[in-house]
Amino acid sequence: MSQGHIQDGLEHILRLAPVVPVVIVESVAEAVPLARALVKGGLKAIEITLRTSAGLDAIRAVAAEVEGAVPGVGTVLTPAQYRQAAQAGARFAVSPGATPRLLDAAEDSGLAPLPGVATASEAMALIERDYRFAKFFPAEAAGGAPFLASIASPLPQLTFCPTGGITPDIAPSYLKLPNVICVGGSWMVKRSVIAAQDWDAVTRAAEQAAAITG
């Protein structure tokens, strides 16, 4: 599949909702009801990170069992993780940074890649590879909405999903920017709520996130 088609597919995923939930799961058993609660609340694209050993199996379970979910893989650091996530059923892949080796693997994986950048030079490296979308990470620590606003004019080729320190209160300041397509956040999937299996609370938080505008 050409880079253009892959980027078109990624754009469709990122436009499903203004917020992509960034999920850390401790067990496969909690992944399916959690994903169902998010989808019910309007957040279909779900980034399931590889920060725990349950990550890949959680992606596999969500892909197989949760109607309407678009599972993605997060915290991708190695080429092997791209391959494993694709086999598990992930539809998109998010990484905190973007090394040449990782970008090469992304282009061979069949997944829609959303690599992370934090500087103008890193953004230019993605533009050279015909990328149209990137994760801006860690968003708040790396300059926040003012940084993205400042590079919108010189680097119009790239549109961002800022992630890192995003809250419901500051999300609109990002979403109003012309070079932001959505934001990533974890406030609707707090560990305490997941541990309590309060799926209704997750759905309510997802509904509120899905209604955020710039």
Question: Alpha helices of 15-151 — where are they, by DSSP H?
Answer: 28-40, 55-65, 79-88, 100-109, 120-128, 144-151
Count of alpha carbons within 13 Å of 165, Cβ hemisphere only? Answer: 12
DSSP 8-state symbol, 180: B
Q: Out of 47, 67, 176, 190, which one is annotated catalytic?
A: 47
67 is catalytic: no
> Is 107 labeled as catalytic in the residue annotation?
no
Among residues 135, 140, 176, 207, the one annotated as catalytic is 135
Q: Cα separation of 129 and 126, whole Å?
A: 5
H-run or E-run covering 71: strand 70-74
Q: Compute and round to an integer the Cα radius of gyration of the chain.
A: 16
Structure tokens, 99? 């090394």
Q: In the chain, how long is the greatest CA-to-CA distance?
A: 47
Q: Return the active site residues.
A: 47, 135
